[in-house]
A and B are shown apart, each in its own frame.
Chain A
């Protein structure tokens, strides 16, 4: 069964460094998302992406964040200058239609020291 994959599973970085989190969505999906979950807290929406552009973003998704679909399979989240409070589990998701089911990857645990 097709699934969303994410790499790396765990990323440790120093504050101020740039990180790129990678995702391979399910191949026939058209909608792509990033969410994050700080330990012990709710899952929070970051950004949605459709037709090669951002369709919606949250207040969390400020100028330090960017997303890209560099080719037909990958979907990346870049954090330009990481802060301690960026430490969280980051989930990628994809779906076939807007507002429908979303299928999540296993997550990347980002630890900022």
Chain B
């Protein structure tokens, strides 16, 4: 298995609903970050959660981290059509600086 696997691979919801995406990882992390990628575009940093944090909020985003289960979740509340994108978790491990990305969840928010 690989560092950083998201589920579900694809998620389709109605506008106004909440969207939850999960990420699992294998090796211990320094921090875990979530990024958004609109189709064919660059990656936008959403939120960073450190290994000693359990929950973090930013606007409509809520991220949790469970280091005992080596998993994280991203919750987007009151979703909008503009939230349609791919969402990736990415981790920093050891003393390095590189991000190891997950496989991503494709979110589609329909009107």
Contacts and interface: CB of A to CB of B under 8 A. Distances in A.
Interface of A: 4, 31, 33, 35, 42-45, 48, 50, 55-56, 58, 91, 93, 95, 98-107
Nearest to B43: A104
Contact of B97 (A42, A56, A107): A56
B41 A45 contact: no
Interface stretch (B12-20, B64-72, B75-83, B99-107): B99-107
A101 B95 CA distance: 15
Given A42-B101, A104-B42, A107-B42, 14 more contacts: A33-B99, A42-B4, A42-B102, A43-B43, A43-B88, A44-B101, A56-B96, A91-B42, A95-B97, A100-B31, A104-B45, A105-B42, A106-B42, A107-B41
Contacts of A99: 30-31, 92, 95-97
Interface of B: 4, 30-31, 33, 35, 41-45, 48, 88, 90, 92, 95-104
Given A99-B30, A99-B92, A45 B45 contact: no
B66 to A, nearest CB: 21
Nearest to B47: A101
Contacts, number: 60
A75 B41 CA distance: 20
Contacts of A106: 41-42
A48 B97 contact: yes
Contacts of B31: 99-100
B42 A45 contact: no
B46 to A, nearest CB: 10
7 contacts: A33-B97, A35-B101, A43-B43, A48-B97, A104-B43, A104-B44, A106-B41
Contacts of A93: 43
